[in-house]
Structure 1
């Protein structure tokens, strides 16, 4: 059992184009068999279950190094980083975030991804600790450009792990409601992976209750295909809700604004105009 050795250690990390994450940190001399622990943060009081333990290898004249390979993929969620002085350590030390080289992720949306689509983005928590944000989805729809006009909003997107088939539809669902959604036909590119769709502001406003609501955006790649959430995941931004703010549009007495949720999924909020 450790009692704080390694406390305050900072982890530098580099991500390459294949998704490999190289993590480097100084290891205290007392650590006999040091390892780096990634532990899935529990949701809603659930017990901690998933973890990934990586060996820390000594490097001549430099910090020790651990490598998180692309496979096997990590379960979707947020993984916190800890130092273990040996694999049986029952008091892991939380690691702080150092430099993060994420340049290989910036243009990640330009590369087509096979199914399942696995995404991993290292980031610093509000307290300054290192964590890795992960998504793991059989099929993914990556949101691209969002153009907000006076009467409609047009979104470009791209499918990863699937292609658009006959009967494909973009469906907006009112969150928390079992009522009918709003269907929009996608306009596909030549390879039937890229596409665009346009949402009419007045139509969406007419389907929203007087108290307002949120419409979540999905794509059905084919007539009998399950829905796929539209999101923005394939770059270096782990949390985009507060940093990507789109302009609001007016329709009658309401304002509509496209935004990204805490999970980086695309939604449209409709509320009374101020």
Structure 2
């Protein structure tokens, strides 16, 4: 028998399989967890077992921790449920297990069943849209990426050609989406100089539709470009001055980090300060933006 494998198995961290539902909830199934009892030896499962979510970078005591009870499941593993109704603020959450007052222990990722998240289309509602996607960190631990948005503008097909960016999307979590969209406009806001804003009209899919589209001439973003990388964030701004604008993002699928996966070609654009290029990309939060840079 391989001694190295025996050692690795003995100290292997507990792991969790995750199953997502179409409403945005997650179920965790924990295995390979050896608890330490009062005498230092293994302890049995009990009511004090919990799955602990810790928000990365948050100050302790400010809603930075969520504890979910772990209960025995029929297959002998422990199970915890994170329903979509449990508020989980946006951010990255590290997943642990804990027994009583013992120090929480990080969980390793197991198998993920995220089929219900692929091409997810939420039903009509005005409640916040909950999105949670489990993923393995670069250190081999289990974490969650969480979003909670209302309204939400989901970016769909992007086409980059002829110096233009064509965007299609769907608006969720407003009472009457077609009325909200009827007087709305698309905006590109320069991150470096907030006073620079491009505004363009929206095309709405129909009288009762939540679908929208717009076309952004990329050269117009480069008119005030003075060199270096410049980012523009994409928004929808409603006609009602009292209503908040909505950030465009792509979160309704099973991909937690899109920046390096969903890539698009940059188009050459004319600029007063030299040759430039511009094209769309997704930020680290999966929000949609446009980058203008030197060609």
TM-score scaled by length of structure 2: 0.84
Q: Is the 8 A contact 2:22 2:116 kept in 1?
A: yes
Q: Is the 8 A contact 1:175 1:214 kept in 2?
A: yes
2:249 counterpart of 1:231: yes
- Indicate the residue corresponding to 1:35 in structure 2: 50
Q: 2:27 aligns with which of 22, 43, 49?
A: 22
Cα deviation, residue 110, structure 1: 6.5
Cα deviation, residue 175, structure 1: 0.3
Aligned to 1:264, what secondary structure does the other structure show? coil
Aligned counterparts of 1:57 and 1:209: Cα–Cα separation in 2: 59
Cα deviation, residue 205, structure 1: 1.7
- Indicate the residue corresponding to 1:194 in structure 2: 211
Q: Which moved more, 1:134-143 or 1:108-117?
A: 108-117
Q: 2:94 aligns with which of 40, 60, 80?
A: 80
2:143 counterpart of 1:141: no
Higher gyration radius (CA): 2
Aligned to 1:203, what secondary structure does the other structure show? helix
Q: 2:280 aligns with which of 253, 258, 268?
A: 258
Cα deviation, residue 214, structure 1: 0.9
Aligned counterparts of 2:119 and 2:262: Cα–Cα separation in 1: 17
- Indicate the residue corresponding to 1:97 in structure 2: 109
2:140 counterpart of 1:128: yes
Can you list the C-alpha shifts for 1:181-209, whole angstroms capped at 9, x where unaligned?
00011101112421001001221221333
TM-score scaled by length of structure 1: 0.90
Cα deviation, residue 247, structure 1: 1.0
Cα deviation, residue 102, structure 1: 0.4
Aligned counterparts of 1:237 and 1:220: Cα–Cα separation in 2: 27
Q: Which moved more, 1:181-190 or 1:247-256?
A: 247-256
Q: Which moved more, 1:228-237 or 1:118-127?
A: 118-127
Q: Is the 8 A contact 1:257 1:270 kept in 2?
A: yes
Aligned counterparts of 1:212 and 1:6: Cα–Cα separation in 2: 46
Cα deviation, residue 221, structure 1: 2.6
Can you list the C-alpha shifts for 1:22-42, whole angstroms capped at 9, x where unaligned?
111123242543211111112
- Indicate the residue corresponding to 2:3 in structure 1: none
Q: Is the 8 A contact 1:7 1:93 kept in 2?
A: no
Aligned to 1:108, what secondary structure does the other structure show? coil
Q: Is the 8 A contact 1:170 1:186 kept in 2?
A: yes
- Indicate the residue corresponding to 1:204 in structure 2: 221
Q: Aligned Cα RMSD in Å?
A: 2.0
Aligned counterparts of 1:216 and 1:272: Cα–Cα separation in 2: 19
Q: Is the 8 A contact 1:172 1:182 kept in 2?
A: yes
2:197 counterpart of 1:181: yes
Aligned to 1:202, what secondary structure does the other structure show? helix
Q: 1:55 aligns with which of 69, 73, 83?
A: 69
